[in-house]
Amino acid sequence: MGVSRREATCQQAVARGVVTRAQTDFSILAAVDIVFVCTPLAAILPTVEQLTANLPSDAIITDVGSVKSAIVASASPLWPHFIGGHPMAGNEQQGIAAGQRGLFIGAPYVLTPTATTLPRVLQTVSGLARSLGSQVITCSPEAHDRAVAWVSHLPVMVSASLIAACLAEPDRPLAQRLASSGFRDTSRVGGGNPELGVMMARYNRSHLRRSLLEYRRRLDEIIDYIEQEDWQSLEALLQVVHQTRTPFL
């Protein structure tokens, strides 16, 4: 069963075989066991509020938002069977047409139960995530937000700054022609959905800010080595970085 704001999306979802039935209001969900809220971050809480009037009392609600503390703290009191989720797969595209079969295979799927989460709720959502081929990871909403600030939200700002910096090149056509796989990969997440970038920053502001300040400290270190022509220290840093990356892959 699918619910979307726009009728056209409902029709596309049925046509693509993504759902059996779809409509623009919540009445279609009167008998469901579990709801995945897949809206932008700012719409998750209003959606959970609306859902509470339309679901069986033992139904589970989960979300796929990329920030968890703020969502879980506010949604849990609204619905006792709410559990925060974050499937970490996707690309820079958006909308139903960007859907891909097998997108979740091998990808981390984070679930953030709290002290009040019933075991049944965690088990049901974990089972569904594993059935998609995801690797389920369980942690606190707070630990999730601190980790994704480094590996997901910081890369967006780092990458966006790279594209922004290149605007200063007077001969941009030549730079564009010479941009190759290195530029394409490093700029990918920064060139993604601007609204999503803002939402990450709003909802995970304190962790992201801390990551950004540490990032700037390391960047300044590199700039300093280059200004001082301290090639030995630059190579030592790049060696550490070279060895550090592998465990993240």
Residues 52-91 that bind a second copy (CB under 8 A): 88-91
Contacts of 94 (CB under 8 A, 6+ apart): 193, 196
User: Using the rule CB under 8 A, is 186 a contact of a second copy?
Assistant: yes
Nearby residues of 61 by Cβ (< 8 Å), 6 or more positions away: 34, 35, 37, 48, 51, 55, 75, 79, 81, 82, 83
What minimum distance in Å lies between the beta carbon of 139 and a second copy?
6
- Nearest residue (CB) to a second copy, 34 versus 160: 160
Between residue 98 and residue 137, which ones bind a second copy under the rule CB under 8 A?
107-108, 110, 137
Interatomic CA distance for residues 134 and 130, integer angstroms: 5
Considering the complex, what minimum distance in angstroms separates the CB of residue 78 from a second copy?
25
Residue with tokens 């056209």: 8
Query: Which residue lies nearer to a second copy by CB, 34 or 137?
Result: 137
> Between 73 and 219, whose beta carbon lies closer to a second copy?
219
Residue partners of 66: CB distance under 8 A and separation at least 6: 41, 86, 148, 152, 153, 196, 199, 200
Structure tokens that stand for 88 in this block: 């970490």
Site for a second copy in 216-245 (CB under 8 A): 216-223, 225-227, 229, 231, 234-235, 237-242, 244-245
With 0-12 / 13-18 / 19 or more C-beta atoms within 10 angstroms meaning exposed / middle / buried, residue 67 is buried
15 contributes a contact to a second copy by CB under 8 A: no
Q: Is residue 205 at the binding interface for a second copy, with CB under 8 A as the rule? A: yes
Q: Does 33 sit near a second copy (CB under 8 A)? A: no
Task: Tell the smallest beta-carbon distance from residue 204 to a second copy (Å).
Answer: 10
Cα gap 32→28, rounded to integer Å: 9
Rank residues 80 and 108 by Cβ distance to a second copy and give the closer one. 108
Distance CA 106, CA 124 (A): 19
With binding defined as CB under 8 A, does residue 144 bind a second copy? Answer: yes
Return the residue matching tokens 């938002």.
Answer: 65
Binding status of residue 20 toward a second copy by CB under 8 A: no
Indicate whether 43 belongs to the interface with a second copy (CB under 8 A). Answer: no
- Asked if 215 is part of the footprint of a second copy (rule: CB under 8 A), the reply reads yes
Alpha carbon 226 to chain centroid distance? Answer: 34
Q: Which stretch binds a second copy (CB under 8 A): 29-37, 46-54, 55-63, 195-203?
A: 195-203
Nearest residue (CB) to a second copy, 55 versus 154: 154
